[in-house]
Amino acid sequence: MLEGLGVLGPLLERGLVSRTFQYRERRGGVVAELDLSVLAGDTPYPFRVQCEQGKLTPILRDHLVQAGGEVRFGAAVRTVEPEPGGVTVTTSAGERVRGG
């Protein structure tokens, strides 16, 4: 999904790529380890990527801004009105913003 948005490269640079997955018991012992390479025939990404929201959000925000979008923090959405080719959002402050 993130490849389709054009952010896979930055995600892989900042995230932690793991080619195995482990289940552990409380004392730290490994219960099972899964080798994700067995998925190589089913997906181009036979691994997990761990990326904290504090890293992912700036990646997505920067990509959106570079594409001509705008990000507003603290603007609660009151209504969303679908329109041909986009939507109009009304914020809790009464501001109307059109997006397409």
- Note the pLDDT tens digit of each residue in 15-72: 999 999 999 999 889 999 999 999 999 999 999 999 999 999 999 999 999 998 888 8
Tokens in use for 27?
A: 């004392």
Closest CA to 99 of 88, 91, 72: 88
Spell out the domain ranges in the chain: 1-69, 73-100
User: Whats the size of the chain, residue-wise?
Assistant: 100
Question: How many angstroms separate the CA atoms of 67 and 65, rounded?
Answer: 5
Q: What is the pLDDT of residue 70?
A: 86
